[in-house]
Chains A and B, each alone.
Chain A
């Protein structure tokens, strides 16, 4: 009795998801014409958290790089935006892109340091690096030192003439960044780097013995994620209008909440962070005014998820119905002759 088999990437579910996804993206792109100003702002926030979550999920879920120091790059991106726009006279939109590039460049030497550590030591090491960044920027008096600085109103106005023009432009940039982050993870995973990363995720030692260049792969992913995170950081502080070391390098806002989103959504998938970010914002809308109880509820949910559904909500869904919305995996279809 012989078996024949085929390797399948896209499934019916993923093709349907693609169609629905395109419709959703079109709807979202038109949001300035149907949503209120408050909704637009909220969606910008959702988009940047989604991008941060995709990056963290890429690092931890595929690269095995559990970083608790991503706020280093969020803060760096934010500060670069302020420095370039306020002192360099660079157009804020161009500064946004440059901030991402500079952050990626800074991530290269950072990676050399951080990669000397592995596992839990790596996690703590990245946090330490972020603290060094925070303390470093607190010493730069031109950027306000420990007090921080505000983005001058004239610079904000230089983005676009009218207030709605400004808000719409920022919205589209945020949407592009969110989609860009999803696309980046998707393309990375479809490439040969993705295969290498999946192998590293499953067993670093085994993959290395099979000839996977683990160091180079992880290095590349780390730097790419840092660049994207820096770009998101610049966008965040373009929205906040004010930066200070404590706000820019906040471990709670830019890493702990992002880990929460990825953990409840489902780590190591593209769908997980999308679901996680939706759940997080629903919770926040309902519970943010409960004071300390809000944080206790978030913590409780995270603990319960880790205990009872370690692969998050998406893990439960994909286990039950065996679906993948993004065709990044491979499945073996066997037929008996």
Chain B
């Protein structure tokens, strides 16, 4: 009985794939006309579940990528068709590991790309590392990607690469923004007990040291569990320390709870710079007008002076195309989802033989290119296997085509990105 399932499985997968191609928009297959082979790229992202906001633009990006690769890519005189196989992690690290293994073992992908938070990037990277499949990941600060996977700065990893910014960048951007507003330099910190929160609040590698060095006084009431429904303890700690600045890395529902309770309890900081929670306009809109001048790290905007190495589109073209296709406001992951495939295509082209894992890995290691999110170079990162992309800071302002607009107000670390306005205190 058991045996027959495993035998019919093949057929099932085939009919399933055929069905999925018709029914769903999740499967993107495009065959090149004249081809000497087929390259398979596996793509894992959280299409459903609490992290789904990160993957909102995937379908749009893949449409563009498939169009760009419709005629295949030329490698060493041979033309290869490109097939991108998309799997949903369901925002679940267990599922992310499973689908990564499926892509490696069943689909036999030549290269893996993965995006969106350590909960997605880390399990997928681990599967690739142990199975010897090259992997490119993004949209997770590099420290939680590198260190919680047991990375050793002297050795690095063999098959897994990552591009994004790091904690040092977000600290620098946040303190730059805070310096532009007149405050008492007292900061309240909200760090949850999760991958990001532990990294940000870490006494050695996180916020505490650099903040102290720059004369900010940090009040950290300790790690809290995600999806808390009461932040009274934190609010009263911040009130006691008369913190005029509040910061941290919260998940969106927790920030909404915190901000509402802060208002109710009469705590009104002048600056609120929150990582992760304020990335998406929908979160800010949910606060009504109380979202005015909340600030956040900004990894990518349509005003970033970069363009795609695949399609030649500028950042603005990519973002406008998304709004045109979906009617929705641009979000930051759009640029990075596109850049993932830029880095992938670049490494494949230089590999000589895209079906050889080690040659693709060697090409990946030598990556030095410009993408729609900025330069990516795996030779000169802070640790092996990591490349840093520029980070700026911005504030949400009411008005414009949508309820809120993201305005860049701090660009000290990336002066190429134009400022959109001056930093303002929350009134």
A binding-site residues for B, Cβ under 8 Å = 20, 24, 27-28, 31, 35-43, 45-46, 135, 138-139, 141, 144-153, 156, 163, 239-242, 244, 246-247, 250, 252-253, 274-275, 278, 281-282, 285-286, 288-292
A272 to chain B, nearest CB (A): 13
Distance of A31 Cα from B2 Cα, bound (Å): 12
A-B contact list, 8 entries, CB within 8 Å: A36-B105, A146-B197, A147-B198, A147-B199, A153-B129, A285-B16, A289-B27, A291-B47
Q: Which of B86, B93, B106 contacts A38 (CB 8 A)?
A: B106
Interface residue? B19 (CB, 8 A): yes
Select one of A27, A41, A150, A285 contacting B126, CB under 8 A: A150
Contact, CB under 8 Å: B130 / A240: no
Contact B195 A39 (CB under 8 A): no
A135/B195 in contact, CB under 8 A: no
Residue pair A38, B199 in contact (C-beta under 8 Å) = no
Chain A residue contacts of B150, Cβ below 8 A:
149-150, 152
Across the interface, B195 reaches (CB within 8 A) one of A147, A152, A156, namely A147
Q: Which 10 A-B pairs have the closest CB atoms?
A: A38-B106, A38-B105, A146-B193, A147-B195, A247-B93, A240-B97, A241-B126, A150-B149, A37-B105, A146-B194
Q: Collect the chain A residues with CB atoms within 8 Å of residue B387's CB.
A: none
User: Which residue from chain A places its CB closest to the CB of B98 in the assembled complex?
Assistant: A45
Known: A147-B118, A152-B150. Contact between A241 and B127, CB under 8 A? yes
Cα distance A39–B102 in the bound complex, in angstroms: 9
Q: Verify A242–B102 contact, CB threshold 8 A.
A: no
With A274-B1, A282-B12 known to touch, is A291 a contact of B92 (CB < 8 Å)?
no
B147 to chain A, nearest CB (A): 9
A158 smallest CB distance to B (angstroms):
12
Chain B: CB-nearest residue to A286: B16
Chain A residues whose C-beta falls within 8 Å of the C-beta of B26 in the assembled complex: 289, 291
Q: Which residues of B contact A (CB under 8 A)?
A: 1-3, 5-6, 9, 12-13, 16, 19-20, 23-24, 26-27, 47-48, 86-88, 92-95, 97-98, 101-102, 105-106, 118-119, 122-123, 126-127, 129-132, 144, 148-150, 192-195, 197-199, 223, 225
The reply to whether A291 and B195 contact each other, CB–CB distance below 8 Å, is: no
Given contacts A241-B123, A247-B92, contact A153 B87 (CB under 8 A): no
B93 touching A289, Cβ below 8 Å: no
Return the chain A residue nearest B2 by Cβ. Answer: A24
CB distance from A18 to the nearest CB of B (A): 13
Residue B101 contacts which of A41, A156, A285 (CB distance < 8 angstroms)? A41
Let me know if A150 and B148 touch, CB within 8 A: yes
A256 to chain B, nearest CB (A): 12
B195 cross-chain contacts in A, Cβ below 8 A: 146-148, 244
A2–B19 Cα distance when bound, in Å, is 64
- B19 — which chain A residues lie within 8 A by C-beta? 286
Supposing A35-B6, A240-B94, A291-B88 touch, asked if A135 and B118 sit within 8 A by C-beta, the answer is no
Q: Which residues of A contact B2 (CB under 8 A)?
A: 24, 28, 46, 274, 278
- Nearest-neighbour CB distance to chain A for B133, whole angstroms, equals 12
Q: In the complex, are the beta carbons of A250 and B126 less than 8 A apart?
A: no
CB distance from B2 to the nearest CB of A (A): 6
With A and B bound together, what is the CA distance between A45 and B86 in angstroms?
21
How long is the Cα–Cα vector from A138 to B195 in the complex, in angstroms? 10
**Roughly how many angstroms separate A244 CA and B122 CA in the complex, as a whole number?**
11
Q: Is the CB of A244 within 8 A of B5?
A: no
Cα distance, A146 to B228, chains bound together (Å): 15
Contacts of A139 in B (CB 8 A): 193
Given contacts A246-B194, A275-B1, 10 further A-B pairs with CB under 8 A are: A39-B9, A42-B102, A144-B148, A145-B198, A147-B148, A241-B130, A242-B93, A253-B94, A289-B86, A291-B26
**With A and B bound together, what is the CA distance between A126 and B194 in angstroms?**
24
The answer to whether B223 touches A146, judged by C-beta atoms less than 8 angstroms apart, is yes
Cα–Cα distance between A232 and B102 once the two chains are bound (Å): 20
CB neighbours of A152 from chain B (8 A): 150
In the complex, what distance in Å separates the CA atom of A243 from the CA atom of B358? Answer: 27
Report how far A240 CA is from B98 CA in the complex, Å.
7
Q: Which residue of A lies closest to B124 (CB)?
A: A242
CA distance in complex: A147, B149 (Å): 10
Kindly report which residue of chain A lies nearest to residue B17, judged by CB atoms: A289
Contacts of B194 in A (CB 8 A): 146-147, 246
**Contact call B106/A242, Cβ cutoff below 8 A:** no
Q: Flag if B9 contacts A42 (CB, 8 Å).
A: yes
Q: How far is the CA of A45 from the CA of B106 in the complex (A)?
A: 14
Bound CA–CA A163/B92 (angstroms): 26
Contact with B48, one of A20, A36, A141, A291 (Cβ below 8 angstroms): A291
Name the contact of B193 in the complex, choosing from A145, A150, A281 (C-beta under 8 A): A145
Q: When the two chains form their complex, are residues A43 and B13 in contact, meaning their CB atoms are under 8 A apart?
A: no
Residues of A near B118 (CB, < 8 A) are 147
Question: What is the minimal beta-carbon distance from A89 to any residue of chain B, in angstroms?
Answer: 15
Query: By the criterion CB–CB under 8 Å, are A290 and B24 in contact?
Result: yes
A40 CA to B104 CA, complexed, in Å? 13
Q: Are the C-beta atoms of B106 and A149 separated by less than 8 Å?
A: no
List the B residue with the shortest CB-CB distance to A31.
Answer: B6
B129 near A28 with CB under 8 A, answer no
* Residues from chain A with Cβ under 8 Å of B48 in the complex: 291-292
Nearest Cβ on chain B to A76's Cβ, whole angstroms: 16
CA distance A291 to B26 in the complex (A): 9
When distances are taken between beta carbons in the complex, the residues of chain A under 8 Å from B24 are 289-291
The residues of A that contact B223 with a CB separation of less than 8 Å are 145-146
Most A CB atoms within 10 A — which of B24, B88, B94?
A: B94
Question: What is the CB-to-nearest-CB distance from A268 to chain B, in angstroms, rounded to a whole number?
Answer: 19
Q: Specify the chain A residue showing the minimal Cβ separation from B95.
A: A253
Q: Is the CB of A242 within 8 A of B123?
A: yes
Q: Indicate if the CB atoms of B123 and A240 lie closer than 8 Å.
A: yes
**Beta-carbon contact of A285 and B12 below 8 Å:** yes
A289 and B199 CA atoms in complex are apart in Å by 32
Specify which of A20, A135, A147, A290 lies most central, judged by the most chain B CB atoms within 10 Å of its CB: A147
Q: How far is the CA of A292 from the CA of B49 in the complex (A)?
A: 8
Shortest A215–chain B CB gap in Å is 35
Q: Which residue of A lies closest to B123 (CB)?
A: A242
Known contacts: A144-B148, A150-B126, A153-B129. The answer to whether A278 contacts B12 by CB under 8 A is no
In the complex, what residues of B have CB within 8 A of residue A285's CB?
9, 12-13, 16
Which of B1, B16, B148 sits near A148, CB closer than 8 Å? B148
Q: Which residue of A lies closest to B195 (CB)?
A: A147
Which residues of chain A have C-beta atoms less than 8 A from B129's C-beta?
153
**Distance in Å from the Cβ of A319 to the closest Cβ of chain B?**
19
Chain A nearest CB from B149 CB (Å) reads 4
Taking a contact as CB atoms under 8 Å apart, the answer to whether B198 and A242 are in contact is no
Q: How far is the CB of A236 from chain B (nearest CB, A)?
A: 8
Query: Does A278 contact B5, Cβ atoms closer than 8 Å?
Result: yes
Nearest Cβ distance between residue B11 and chain A, in whole angstroms?
A: 10
With a cutoff of 8 Å between Cβ atoms, the chain A residues found around residue B198 in the complex are 141, 145-147
Once A35-B6, A147-B198 are accepted as A-B contacts, the answer to whether A242 and B126 lie under 8 Å apart by CB is: yes
